[in-house]
Structure 1
Amino acid sequence: MSLTSSLHIAQSALATSQIGLQVTSQNLANAATPGYTRQVALLQAVRGSVTDPFIIGSGVAIQEVRRQIDTALQSRLWNANSEEYNNAQQLNVFNQLEAILNEGTEYDLSSELSSFFNVWSEATTLLDSSSTVINQGKSIASFIKNMREDLLDQRQQIENQIDSQATQADALFAEIAQINSTISNSEIGETEASALRDRRDQIVTQLSQLVEITTVETNQGGYDVFIGSTPIVQGNRSRGITIDRQSQGGTVNVTLNTADNNDTLTVTSGSIGGLLNSRDGAIDETIEKLDQIASNLIFEVNKIHSTGINEDWLSTALGTLQISTANQSLPLNDPANRDLADLPYAPENGGFFVNIRNEDTGTSDQIWVPVDLDGIDTLGTASVADDTSAEDIRAAIDAIPGLTASFDPSGRLQIDAASGFSFSFSEDSSGVLATLGVNTFFQGIDSTDIAVRDDVTVMLGRLAPDGSFSANENANLLGQLGTQAINGLGGQNIEKFWSIQSQNVAVQAASARTQADAAFLVRQSLDNQRAGVSGVSIDEESINLLTFQRQYQGAAQVITAAQEMFDTLLTLV
């Protein structure tokens, strides 16, 4: 090997150590930079010439400067990010939901239900029982409506968050596509555009917090990004995402779709996934259960109240259900009769008694009004054609001497007693009086509009089967209603039904809390693993700095020695 070769080897060592020092300096400068990936200068020995008898080698060269990253670990970290934000978002929703329900305090729905039923039981001992019962009825109706408003406000807040985060995610997808293009134009040969790749990974990290994604690196250095199996970013093009809302059966379905052709995306994780799951799950389910409570409370209270009386019987009664003229002649159980088919409750096959009293003589008569809703015609065929309509009921009542029945301009059943007569109802096995809203306590159909009737007359008494008057029987029945099994609630009583729903929310909240804690620990562990692989160690870089410094010094000494040897040779010439 000649002195010239030694100089060339030393020169390569100088150049290599300079680049090594630059890489080390870059790492030290970015030791605290979020998202920075440690760079490593990969050295490669240069092969010597085959004409060299010893083939010692020709020095050292930088093979490439590479980001130190474990792609499999990075993908796991992005998935863990999605899971953590999904669980954290659901936990946040459950915390808000528990605050709205406020169960376990004296200001919860369970307490309101107990107070409402208790006031009926205590009505016989109160000086102003009617006023007290009405006020308690207004209190629970207001409580239910306010709770529904709070739940709707929470759902709207979720809707706003979904819109905002979808817009944010769409912008991130577009930015990834743009960086893909820049990287493919910047990288030449084995050289990596490290800063651009770090920036892109940071964007993917932000994106993974919003929605679960997978990435596939292309030969050009770009990322193809998928939600599920659907590609969103391909090379330098982003299809974009958008929120789609479709009304169906009284509910609004919310989905995340591609912006270019409206393909529906399956979103199961990330913050957006957590919001969608919470909206469609916990919030909508609680609203549905609250509606069930309200509609069954309305119907069951009204069924009892409609057949109640006081010592003074009725002289007039106005229903609350508005039935269009076209539907008045349709059977009550006809699916085409939307005024009744859209109700959350329905009358049954049965009937009721109308009691008519002559106020002058004190005598009374009892007339049975059948309600045929068996769905079978006179030939025994399944059909509603000859079943009872609202008009049939009106005509039957109107045919009773001393009573007139009609539909007012808004389609409500109006019953009036002639002068000197009064009337009442009893033994309604069909529930049709409660359905039509005749002599009822509540009006409305569910938690959206439950209210005590403005014209309500509280009915505490009831006629016994033998026709005798029992002053407090209706109040007693209403007081016991809270613990009575109700078909519309799956055989559970009202208080138990809501208690189970509240417990379910508490259990789901506890589960969400556990899952959120677990997801945090998993993400934290993977974050630490990534830091071990890709993070900058000050100690390690200090050692590298010293190594390259010594390499540079050694190479300089070789050059000095070679120069002295040259000088010696020249003196011999």
Structure 2
Amino acid sequence: MSLLNVGARALLANQVALQTAGHNIANVNTPGYSRQTVVLQTVQGQFTGGGYIGQGVDVQTILRNQSELLTRQSATAGSVQSSDIVRAERLRQLQEVFSGGTAGLGAAINDMMNAFSDVVSAPTDITARTVVLTRMDETASRMRAAADRINEIQYTVTEQLQSSITAVNSLAGQMASVNEQIARAKGNGQTPNDLLDQRDQIIRDINQYVQTTQIPADDGTVGLFVAGSQPLVLGTTATSLSIDDATAFPGSGQIKLFFNRPGAPAVEMDENVLGGGSMSGLLRFNNNDLAEGRNLLGRMAMAIGMTMNDQHNLGLTLDGALGKDLFALPASMPGHTNGAGVGTVSFTGPTEFAASDYEIRFTTGTAGQVVRLSDGTSTPFTDAANLATLQIDGLNFNLTTPGNPGERMLFKPFSTAAANIQSLVYSPRDLAAANPINAAMGTSNGGTLQLAGLKATGLPNPPGLVLPPNANPAALPPILGGIQLQFTAGPPTTYDVLDRGTAPPTTIAAAQPYTPGAPISINGWEIKLQGSPNTGDTVVIGNASDPQYGDIFTRNAGNASALMGLRDVKMFDESTLSDGYAGAMAQVGTRTQSALFAAELSTTIAANLERDRTAISGVNLDEEAARLIQYQQAYQASSKMIQIAQNIFDSLLQGLGR
């Protein structure tokens, strides 16, 4: 009977080994499956006078081949990889918004500025003026299209975050259920391998969305924590996540992840503490990368629009009227806060804009600081009145109600500028191409003075442009009108500034030093002269709309020339207007390349760790096939052992029967 028992035990043990090998082969492609191995142990031998006689073999357990350390490292690396990849993919989409080529925004801006050259050559040519207006409308249209594309990207990011939240909450519920099953199964003293694999796979799946920390409990369950301390799954209880506007800045477009523990207020979690996971990457992209792209585009729209509006307002149309705004732009933007503060930001210095959002942080009383979020530069202020006097990066912050100490206000000056920009001038006659002033050399000049440049600048503002006085021939004595520069030959060469709006003319400034080619700025206009004057030489600057000059202004294109000259004005971080778009492309491109490199690096690390994990946990079909043959032979031998034991038993019974 002992031989029969040994054979039966061996048969059952090898049957379990065959079944385990078959289980491994069947799950070779199952995600998260860990290879299982039968652990056999010798049955305690029976003592006899001749020694211990073996009693065969038993199955001790089914071992799950896996490394806890490598499993966690692989899950964490996969989480970082998921974050980097999704951010790189979204940055690629943002980079497409700032594309080059003839269809890009940069080409439209250059075409618009270059179109003024034809107006400079032929100020009264209606076709040339129409081309300028068409180019301006095309530029505004492309800016709006780019802004719309950014809004579309933000919408898809929000939708992806919502679907990710749904997936994580579902996975958390599944893990809580598996935890319960594992806790029950642990009571029988054996390890539920397949349930543990299922739980590990759920953890890996959750980490694809949000990085977690795993802490095992004594009852066999595992707790999952997000952001270091918030229990997503604790034992058999799962807590839900959600996304919503940032609590501090509702309506600002900033999105945050919230932890919703039952019976307690929702906890807002910053993306910087989430670690890896696609949701972390999407939140970083939305709150940082996308905001920068929108600011770059909005700053470009505001700076170009404001400088062109300001210059166009100084010129004269074909009908002799002052020019109006070329582009519709916001005058101010409100601040975002959930505190007591109320205020707006307005635009004053278009050449000083920085592509950034700003925070006002109140410290004590009504004092605080304005922080430029792109680099952390701060500007302190003592109260609202003091803040209103400060010009920060070409912006003025005006508080109607200061916030309480500790509160913050977020300002997004450029967030909607590109989305709402519109071309406002539709008639070619309304293009203010003419200078509002003209200049004439004295008829009796004996020197070599020549006019090198004349334009209205409107600077300083205030007071802005003050046009020369008109003539009044009916007055006694007659008023000649205009501003006269009267020179005295040197050395040094000087000039007096005379106001001819009175009779006799009055002196505004005397003995001003003259340098050939240097600009002479008076009352918001600027004149450049070349050559050397003789004593008594004069230059008269007159109001172009003065009736004494008739319609001469219609054949003047000084303001169109000034508008065209704006392309060489530095306004985008030391880049000129014509180079500003290239600078924006470079900034977005650099950020994209950095994200792609990070994604490539994290992918390599994650692949290496997953390879190390599967080297321990993965199923090798060749190895399992060899084991099948081994266990098959052992099974057949065990069967033969039972057959022999049966024969011996039969022979024994036959012998006893005689």
Say yes or no: TM over 0.5. yes
Counterpart for residue 151 of structure 1: 150
Q: In the alignment, is the contact (CA less than 8 A) between 1:308 and 1:459 conserved in 2? A: yes
Q: Which has the higher strand share?
A: 2
CA distance in 2, matches of 1:431, 1:33: 59
Counterpart for residue 504 of structure 1: 587
CA distance in 2, matches of 1:475, 1:337: 41
Q: Which structure 2 residues correspond to residues 96-245 of structure 1 after superposition, within 5 A?
A: 96-103=93-100, 105-126=101-122, 127-128=125-126, 129-229=128-228, 230-245=230-245
Q: In the alignment, is the contact (CA less than 8 A) between 1:217 and 1:224 conserved in 2? A: yes
Deviation at 1:237, TM superposition (A): 0.3
The aligned amino acid for 2:231 is: P
Deviations 1:161-201 (A, max 9, x none): 11111111111111111111122223443323233233323
Counterpart for residue 467 of structure 1: 541
Higher RCO (CA < 8 A, seq sep 6+): 1
Could you say if the C-alpha distance between residues 531 and 447 of structure 1 is closer, same or farther in structure 2, counting changes exceeding 3 Å? same
CA distance in 2, matches of 1:528, 1:117: 57
Deviation at 1:50, TM superposition (A): 5.8
2:474 aligned with 1:478, yes or no?
no
Could you say if the C-alpha distance between residues 563 and 186 of structure 1 is closer, same or farther in structure 2, counting changes exceeding 3 Å? same
Counterpart for residue 458 of structure 1: 431
Deviation at 1:482, TM superposition (A): 1.6
**Pairwise CA RMSD of aligned residues?**
3.6
Say which SS state the counterpart of residue 84 (structure 1) adopts. Answer: helix
Q: In the alignment, is the contact (CA less than 8 A) between 2:33 and 2:618 conserved in 1? A: yes
The aligned amino acid for 2:309 is: N
CA distance in 1, matches of 2:131, 2:426: 15
- The count of residues paired between Structure 1 and Structure 2 equals 469
The aligned amino acid for 2:23 is: Q
Counterpart for residue 448 of structure 1: 419
Q: In the alignment, is the contact (CA less than 8 A) between 1:343 and 1:445 conserved in 2? A: no
Counterpart for residue 60 of structure 1: 57
Q: In the alignment, is the contact (CA less than 8 A) between 1:84 and 1:520 conserved in 2? A: yes
Q: Which structure 2 residues correspond to residues 54-93 of structure 1 after superposition, within 5 A?
A: 54-93=51-90
Q: Which runs of 5+ in 2 are unaligned?
A: 333-340, 352-381, 397-414, 438-453, 455-524, 526-539, 545-552
Q: Which structure 2 residues correspond to residues 506-545 of structure 1 after superposition, within 5 A?
A: 506-545=589-628
Say which SS state the counterpart of residue 242 (structure 1) adopts. Answer: strand
Q: In the alignment, is the contact (CA less than 8 A) between 1:298 and 1:445 conserved in 2? A: no
Counterpart for residue 9 of structure 2: 12
Could you say if the C-alpha distance between residues 541 and 204 of structure 1 is closer, same or farther in structure 2, counting changes exceeding 3 Å? same
Q: In the alignment, is the contact (CA less than 8 A) between 1:17 and 1:548 conserved in 2? A: yes
CA distance in 2, matches of 1:382, 1:548: 85
Deviation at 1:71, TM superposition (A): 1.9
> Greater CA deviation, 249-258 or 88-97?
249-258
Deviation at 1:560, TM superposition (A): 4.3
CA distance in 2, matches of 1:526, 1:99: 33
Q: In the alignment, is the contact (CA less than 8 A) between 1:295 and 1:445 conserved in 2? A: no
Q: Which has the higher helix share?
A: 1
Q: In the alignment, is the contact (CA less than 8 A) between 1:37 and 1:68 conserved in 2? A: yes
Could you say if the C-alpha distance between residues 92 and 321 of structure 1 is closer, same or farther in structure 2, counting changes exceeding 3 Å? closer
CA distance in 1, matches of 2:642, 2:627: 23
Q: In the alignment, is the contact (CA less than 8 A) between 1:44 and 1:63 conserved in 2? A: yes
TM-score, normalised on structure 1?
A: 0.73
2:317 aligned with 1:344, yes or no?
no
Could you say if the C-alpha distance between residues 54 and 504 of structure 1 is closer, same or farther in structure 2, counting changes exceeding 3 Å? farther
Counterpart for residue 291 of structure 2: 284
Say which SS state the counterpart of residue 461 (structure 1) adopts. Answer: coil
Deviations 1:59-116 (A, max 9, x none): 222111122222222212212222222222122212222222222x111121111111
Counterpart for residue 264 of structure 1: 268
CA distance in 1, matches of 2:637, 2:135: 94
Say which SS state the counterpart of residue 153 (structure 1) adopts. Answer: helix
Deviation at 1:542, TM superposition (A): 2.1
Could you say if the C-alpha distance between residues 46 and 306 of structure 1 is closer, same or farther in structure 2, counting changes exceeding 3 Å? same
Q: Which structure 2 residues correspond to residues 358-373 of structure 1 after superposition, within 5 A?
A: none
CA distance in 2, matches of 1:263, 1:346: 40
CA distance in 2, matches of 1:263, 1:179: 26
Say which SS state the counterpart of residue 448 (structure 1) adopts. Answer: helix
The aligned amino acid for 2:346 is: L
The aligned amino acid for 2:252 is: T
Deviations 1:472-520 (A, max 9, x none): 221111111122123xx44432233332221122222223333333333
Deviation at 1:445, TM superposition (A): 8.5
Q: In the alignment, is the contact (CA less than 8 A) between 1:148 and 1:448 conserved in 2? A: yes
> Greater CA deviation, 162-171 or 190-199?
190-199
The aligned amino acid for 1:546 is: I
CA distance in 2, matches of 1:452, 1:87: 40
The aligned amino acid for 2:249 is: Q
The aligned amino acid for 1:554 is: A
CA distance in 2, matches of 1:82, 1:382: 46
Could you say if the C-alpha distance between residues 323 and 511 of structure 1 is closer, same or farther in structure 2, counting changes exceeding 3 Å? closer
Say which SS state the counterpart of residue 30 (structure 2) adopts. Answer: coil
Could you say if the C-alpha distance between residues 317 and 37 of structure 1 is closer, same or farther in structure 2, counting changes exceeding 3 Å? closer
Deviation at 1:250, TM superposition (A): 6.1
The aligned amino acid for 2:290 is: I
CA distance in 2, matches of 1:323, 1:535: 64
CA distance in 1, matches of 2:156, 2:55: 68
Deviation at 1:539, TM superposition (A): 2.0
